[in-house]
Every structure is written in C-alpha cells, then in structure tokens.
C-alpha cells in the first residue's frame, strides 16, 4: 500500500500500523530556499540524518529504510523547505487486511457452529499459516539455489580447466632419469686394475659399458614445463581484488557489453546478504535501476558497479563505511555491518 507524507521544521510523530518501507525523499514542488535541508528521524530515542537535499543541486534521494510496526517514528527537517517522503507498508502488500476480514468471518461462523467447529477452523488457520511460511521459505530457497547454481557452474569450469592442463602435462613424453649414472664403472678398483687371469672374458664387458655413456644425455631433463603448470593452478586464488577504499570484488562472470557512464541509468539484478549468510534484500526477477555515480545508492555500489560490463556478474564485499555506516538500516541491517552483494549488470544507458 502506498504511503506518503510532507515534513517541515515542525516535527511529525506517528506510529505505523504495519512495517513501513521508505524509498524516496524529495524537495516540495514549491521549494524556494537554496540552503541545505537535512531530513532527520528520531527512532528508539536516537536522532539520525537520512539525507541532505538542496535546491538546484540534489533535489531528491533514493532511500531504502524500514521501520517496524508499532514503534513511534518522528520526522523533522533542518532547513527552510518542505521534504516529501514516499514509500509503502510492507505487510499490507501481502494481503493482511484480507486475511483479517476472513478471520472475522470465520469467528462469526465459529460462534454459530459451536465449539467443535471452532476447533476445526482453528486447525485450518494453523495449516494456512504453515502454508504461507512454507511459500516464503520456498521463495528464499529458490533465490539461494539460483545463486549457488551460478557459483557451482563457475567452480566446475575452473576445475575442468585445471584437469585439462593436468592431462596435457601427463600426455607429454617424460624423459627417463639418468639411471645409468648410478652404475659408474670407472671409480671401481677392479676395473682400474685388470688381472692377468681374465684378459679375454671380462675386458669386452668393461669396454661395452663405457659405450653406453654417449646414450645418456641427461642435461636436457630440466623440469621447466611442470613449473609452468604449477603457476597456472595458483591463478584462480588471486581473483579477489581489494581497492584502496576497502571494497573487495570478485568477477564471477566477465561481461562483454559496454561499461556504465557516470550519471547514466543502469539496471542490475542482485541479492544482498550479511556476513552471517542472512538475506536482507534481493531483486533477481525485476532489474533494479538507478543512475550511477551521483549517490542515488550506497557508495560501495557506485564504486563496485562502475567497472563492470553488461552481462557480467560480480560479488561485492562492501565495508560499513561504504554502506550504511554506524547507524545501519534497522531493522534489516545492524550498525557497522559489512554487506555482501552478488550483482549482475543487465543494462546501461549510453
């Protein structure tokens, strides 16, 4: 369900009936003052700044902030202009109002049908809740399975390449070790001092053993090619790139299309997780669009997506100072949280 409100210097307090998701803040159409206008929120006894807007400069900001139902929220503006907030109630999107009406009708039926019908309908309600929970779990499982499938495909490709290199190395003919050097004939005392009793039977064999010396060119047997294959195996371990800002990224698939340009719109599919593996946001079916490089999203996205190409898939590990910082984005994202995004660049305007 859509939600909107206008905020000025006078604080506005209210308690949301459902979980509230705020998506956009912009200056009012009648804004005239060119000074800075800071949107502030007081939540759980603490005051936070959500964004800063300025006429003829930054007149709107994309937000991704959730507020829990039943908790008082107070908005105010530090500045002379009015700021319009828009978003939607999360729970109302899933049909809680319709479920409430159905439950009221069921309660009326239960009173008429007696205690036995009440017990049966209570069991039906529990089954419906279990089915809803199973559907939510199935959707999360599908998202996680799709991500795991993509990562597994990349791992299998790397493994197949390594095995192919091993097979090539094994097919190359190996030069024999200089075994003949183990039987040096010259240093033996018996060979140096031949006895007079055996001049004819033993001397031919002694002469044949030196004849084998030219057949033992062992110097070319230097293991140079196996060293090259060892270097190739170590290449995949250096795929994670760490930038001076602290952001890390790993290219799962390198794209072949164009790269984004600052200020232009891009479309991405993504899934966001905390370091404990919990998914806090995703958009895998419908691409999320934003203008890159002008702080419509967190800094980690502006930096990490800028060097991608269309068709590429990248894993971004974003430190807190490039994401939501010390404040976090309650209740989904705690303070000082490192965020992990798997991002696919599907389009970019040129």
Q: What is the DSSP letter of 334?
A: -
pLDDT (tens digit, 9 = 90+) per residue, 155-211?
888 888 888 888 877 766 555 455 455 444 454 444 444 444 443 433 333 443 444
**Strand pairing class (240-242; 36-43):** unpaired
Q: Has 281 been annotated as catalytic?
A: yes
- Of the residues 67, 75, 249, 324, only one is catalytic, namely 324
- Of the residues 18, 89, 249, 270, only one is catalytic, namely 270
Kindly state the tokens that stand for 102: 């159905």
Q: Has 2 been annotated as catalytic?
A: no
Handedness of CA 331, 337, 342, 346 (dihedral sign): positive
- Of the residues 7, 22, 271, 298, only one is catalytic, namely 298
Least confident of 39-43, 128-132, 199-203, 324-328: 199-203
- pTM recorded for the entire structure: 0.35
pLDDT (tens digit, 9 = 90+) per residue, 91-137?
644 444 455 566 666 776 666 666 666 667 667 777 777 777 777 67
Q: Has 88 been annotated as catalytic?
A: no
- Of the residues 43, 280, 288, 290, only one is catalytic, namely 280
Q: Has 280 been annotated as catalytic?
A: yes
Mean pLDDT along residues 38-64? 90
pLDDT over threshold 70, residue 7: yes
For position 122, what pLDDT does the model report? Answer: 66
For position 175, what pLDDT does the model report? Answer: 53
Please list, in sequence order, all residues whose beta carbon lies within 8 angstroms of the beta carbon of residue 306, skipping any fewer than 6 positions away. 259, 260, 262, 292, 293
- Of the residues 143, 281, 290, 321, only one is catalytic, namely 281
Q: Has 324 been annotated as catalytic?
A: yes
CA distance 73 to 85: 13
The pLDDT mean for the chain works out to: 79
For position 103, what pLDDT does the model report? Answer: 65
Per-position b or e across 93-118, b if 16+ CB within 10 A of its CB: eeeeeeeeeeeeeeeeebeeeeeeee
Q: Has 303 been annotated as catalytic?
A: no
């Amino acid at each position: 369900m859509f939600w909107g409100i206008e905020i000025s210097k006078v604080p506005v307090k209210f308690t949301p009936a459902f979980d509230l998701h705020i998506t956009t803040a912009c200056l009012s159409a009648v804004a005239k003052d060119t000074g800075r206008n800071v949107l502030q929120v007081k939540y759980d006894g603490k005051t936070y700044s959500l964004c800063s807007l300025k006429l003829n400069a930054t007149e709107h900001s994309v937000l991704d902030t959730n507020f829990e139902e039943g908790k008082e929220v107070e908005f105010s503006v530090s500045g002379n202009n009015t700021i319009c907030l828009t978003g939607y109630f999360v729970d109302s999107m899933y049909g809680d109002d319709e479920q409430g009406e159905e439950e009221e009708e069921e309660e009326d039926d239960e009173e008429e049908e007696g205690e036995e019908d009440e017990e049966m309908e209570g069991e039906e309600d529990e089954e419906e809740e279990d089915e809803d929970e199973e559907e939510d779990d199935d959707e999360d499982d599908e998202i996680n399975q799709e991500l795991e499938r993509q990562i597994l495909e990349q791992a299998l490709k790397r493994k197949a390449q390594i095995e192919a290199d091993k097979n090539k190395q094994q097919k190359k003919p190996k030069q024999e070790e200089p075994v003949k050097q183990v039987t040096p004939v010259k240093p033996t005392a018996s060979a140096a001092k031949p006895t007079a009793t055996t001049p004819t039977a033993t001397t031919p064999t002694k002469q044949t053993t030196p004849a084998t010396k030219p057949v033992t060119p062992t110097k070319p047997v230097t293991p140079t090619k196996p060293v090259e294959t060892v270097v190739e195996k170590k290449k995949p371990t250096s795929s994670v790139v760490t930038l001076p800002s602290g952001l890390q990224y790993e290219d799962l698939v390198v794209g072949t299309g164009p790269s984004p340009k600052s200020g232009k719109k891009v479309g991405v599919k993504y899934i966001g997780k905390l370091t404990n593996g919990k998914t806090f946001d995703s958009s895998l079916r419908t691409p999320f669009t934003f203008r890159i490089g002008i702080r419509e999203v967190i800094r980690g996205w502006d930096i990490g997506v800028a060097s991608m190409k269309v068709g590429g898939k990248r894993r971004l590990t974003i430190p807190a100072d490039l994401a939501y910082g010390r404040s976090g984005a309650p209740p989904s994202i705690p303070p000082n949280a490192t965020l992990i995004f798997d991002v696919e660049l599907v389009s970019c305007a040129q």
